[in-house]
Amino acid sequence: MFRILLISCVVMLTQVHSLGHARSAYLRSNQIYAGDIAELIIEFDNKIPALYALDTTVLEKDFEVLNKNSSVSRVSDLNKALHRMQWNIEILPRRIGSLRIPSLRVGDIDTPVLTLEVVPQTPELSSTSNVYVELEAQPENPYVGQQIQIVIRVIHNIPLFDDNLLDPEFENADTYRTAPESIYSIFRDGNEFQVQERSLSIIVRSPGEIRIPPAVYRGLIKSDGSTSATGSMTQSRRISRSSEDLHLQVRIPPRGFSGNNWLPAKHLEINQHWDEIIDELHVGDSLGFTLSIEAKGLAAKALPAGLLSIDSDKVEIYADQETRSNRFDDRELVGRLDQRFAVIVTQPGEIEIPATPLKWWDIEQDVEKVAILEGRKWTVPEPGTGKDRNHDAEIPLAWNRPQSKGFGISAIHNNWQWWAMTGVTLVIICLLICVKPLRNYLRQKMEVILFSRRNRKMLKQACISNDAAGTRHELIKWGRAHWPGDNITGLHQLETRAKSSELVEQLSMLSATLYSDHGADWQGRRLWQLIAAEHRYLSKRPSAHENALPDLYPQRA
């Protein structure tokens, strides 16, 4: 009886143990060179297909944990189906020597303690498989807001595979990818090296010392089939190489700068373009104007908008939303700002748009310079004056000519002239009475036109850049403009009004994206094409709200 009980206990313990145990924990290689990446593998068998959490904090004393991947596979062991969980952990040793890999907890099981030997590279190995990273920054003492060019070079004399060059991570700075990576050859110490070069630009937002962290390269050196001195096959190696870090001193703007906007650049210019040149303006006339600012060595976000302004009761200026863009010219960042303006004449008299200076700092000559937005002057006559008035002044001369008695042809002719003059006078009087309502109407109409253009431009930009939240915001404004009395607050209201079934589907997809964890996968180009077609349809459609003006600045949904 005791023997039967003992056997039953052994069987039960075996079954409990088979529910989950660490099958193995081992290193891909127990000895690596300094700068190489070790791979720790842990396998765990369990009847339940679930992954346990794996805490690798205890490794961080002697190792940098670079990557941690997990997977589950189904295996058979003694005619029993098991699920094998596997963790692949890439670790980079922090020093040379015999490093202890402590036990890790997997479920309720502890992995065995392992030892990794990290040895320095031999001179022979360094000469045949030399890989290192260089980091440069220019200038070393920039002004705040000035472009700093960062160059990263991976230099090697052996083929590399599965490579990954990690950019330095900057705090309190904007980063721009300057140009595509380039590959070329150089000779150093009589040996040929391949160079993989990457260029970045950063703009620091505040003065003081800034640290540029090391650039990191990770890749694979494959085995070439040769044998080592011990006769063993040379294995492929995962390597990690880092550059030195850099320290730059960022200067404050010089005290001699007198501008309102700090603009450190190599070159800055202002261009302007009037849609049409009108020498004679009248009350109610409007002109379109485009202003462009372009700066070399400066990001577009730093350029000031709304540069065209005037304090006058004779003219009103409406600014459209500016557009900003960056490009690169031989590694030089070139920022550009374009902005449209509508200039509307409201009263007669002398009108002058004064020249506007824009002060900036030339970083090459280290002096202040000024770019000028040219001014313009007009003389707007009183209504009913000008050429029409000069022509009317000659009319009484004809009335003083001797007239034949009776009701002849000449009398009829002069009678029509009198009626024409009377009609013109009445029209002028009506215009004078209605000029203020007309001016208000024109202003409101121009505001609506500018708002509509700005809204469509921002909506297109949000769709093309796959910005789901920004697209929803602009769509709500677009809907309020087309249905001003319906209080549009959500995408579902636009779905019920859309004429295209495909547009309804795209709006539904956008709504789903906004409330899911996969917003980064949303593509908005097709939605913009459908919205553009819907806008054209709605613009041609007779509307009950045709004379209603939408809210220029609706509340953000």
Q: Which CATH architecture has domain 265-380?
A: Sandwich (2.60)
Give the span between the Cα atoms of 161 and 238, in whole angstroms.
9
265-380 and 124-250 share a CATH fold: yes
**Dihedral angle sign, alpha carbons of residues 230, 234, 237, 240:** positive
CATH fold group of domain 16-120 = Immunoglobulin-like (2.60.40)
| Domain edges within the chain | 16-120, 124-250, 265-380, 410-540
Q: How far are the Cα atoms of 199, 251, 433 from residue 144, in angstroms, in the given order?
A: 20, 6, 57
Vertex 200 angle, CA 197 and 204, to 5°:
150
Residue 407: what pLDDT? 39
Q: Give me the amino acid identity at 517.
A: D
* pLDDT, position 431: 64
Strand ranges for 297-385 from DSSP E: 315-319, 323-329, 332-345, 349-353, 356-362, 367-373, 376-380
The CA-atom distances, in angstroms, between 375 and each of 2, 252, 273, 307 are: 110, 33, 12, 12
On whether the CB atoms of residues 381 and 282 are closer than 8 A, the answer is yes
Q: What is the tens place of the pLDDT at every residue in 376-387?
A: 888 888 776 554
pLDDT at 288: 83
The pLDDT score that the predictor gives to residue 6 is: 45
**Is residue 122 classed as helix, strand or coil in its secondary structure?**
coil
pLDDT at 163: 84
b/e per residue 401-419 (b: at least 16 CB within 10 A): eeeeeeeeeeeeeeeeeee
Q: Distance (Å, rounded) from C-alpha 545 to C-alpha 326?
A: 41
Mean pLDDT by groups of 10 residues along the chain of 557 residues: 45 40 78 93 74 83 91 74 84 94 84 93 83 93 94 93 87 84 90 92 91 93 57 68 93 92 95 76 81 94 86 82 90 92 85 89 95 86 57 37 41 58 71 64 71 83 83 87 81 84 86 67 84 80 46 43
Q: Classify residue 336 as exposed, middle or buried by CB count within 10 Å of its CB (0-12, 13-18, 19+).
A: middle
Q: Residue 417: what pLDDT?
A: 65
Q: Which CATH number fits domain 124-250: 3.40.50, 2.60.40, 1.10.3470, 1.20.58?
A: 2.60.40
| Residue-wise pLDDT tens digits, 184-197 | 999 988 889 999 99
Q: What is the pLDDT of residue 194?
A: 94
CA 531 to chain centre: 22
